[in-house]
Amino acid sequence: MKELLNLQQTMSSREISDLTGKQHKHVLVDCDKLNENYRAMGLAEISADVYMDTYGREQKCYTLTRMQTFDLMTGYSAPLRIKVNRRWEELENAQKLQLPQTFAEALRQLAEQVEENERQQKLLIEQKPKVIFADAVATSTQSCLIGELAKILRQNGVEIGQNRLFDWLRANGYLCRYGEKYNQPTQKAMEMELFEVKKTSITKPNGTILITATTKVTGKGQVYFVNKLLKAS
């Protein structure tokens, strides 16, 4: 029972960033420097963690104990230290109210925490392939054919073939539905930089020149359509 109740209170580097007004990346640098000192002194380092940003990407953060937070705040100004200290007081008061009063309550809380940890871990595993895809493609200059986009979508969990994808793109205003520009990008799609059109000239045996247009999906477009169709599926 005593061991179950002895839950260590922690504070995340993101919360410290919010409380102090410092950019999170700067708080991370401060934590890294503090860890260097901890290593040199043989002390326990600040625990590294991850969270999902608004784009579904895995980002680094830290989880600090009360003492580690105080060590970190030593180099900060007095007003910032006061804000963080007051927040610690709030957390500790809240924890006192939430502590289980019986062994059964302690077991239930422990089981709920284990379930939540498992849920978060499963979410990270499920999201990882999509995150890797987005990071790799978002900055890519390599465009692809619409048939290749259909393959990428299937790899990311969207069951759709080339013909159905063409139908969807036309129905949702990304490709022209009629006339000479059939299956070419609409003005809206071009302004969004989702497609590019590759034009090729072919000289026929009779000397006439035929211009063909091939619609390709940009790296930006690939990320856009994967995210959009994943949400719809």
End-to-end CA distance of the chain: 46
* 69-79 average pLDDT score: 81
* Contact (CB, 8 A) for 62 and 44: no
**Residue pLDDT, tens place only, 142-188:** 788 999 989 988 887 888 999 999 999 999 999 999 888 888 999 99
pLDDT of residue 96: 58
Overall residue count recorded for the chain in this entry: 233
Rounded Cα distance, 156 and 136, in Å: 14
pLDDT > 50? residue 213? yes
Residues 6+ apart with CB under 8 A from 41: none
pLDDT of residue 113: 76
The Cα angle at residue 216 between residues 212 and 220, in degrees rounded to 5 = 155
Note the pTM of the prediction, 2 decimals.
Answer: 0.41
List, edge to edge, every strand of the sheet that includes 47-52: 10-12, 58-65, 47-52
Amino acid at site 14: R
What backbone torsions phi and psi does residue 175 show, to the nearest 5 degrees?
A: -125, 145
Q: Which of 27-31, 60-64, 200-204, 221-225 has the lowest mean pLDDT?
A: 200-204
pLDDT of residue 130: 54
What backbone torsions phi and psi does residue 211 show, to the nearest 5 degrees?
A: -100, 120
**Residue pLDDT, tens place only, 8-59:** 678 899 999 998 899 999 999 999 998 998 898 888 899 998 888 777 778 8
| Residue 115 binned pLDDT confidence (cut-offs 50, 70, 90) | confident
Rounded Cα distance, 126 and 124, in Å: 5
pLDDT > 50? residue 136? no
Amino acid at site 4: L
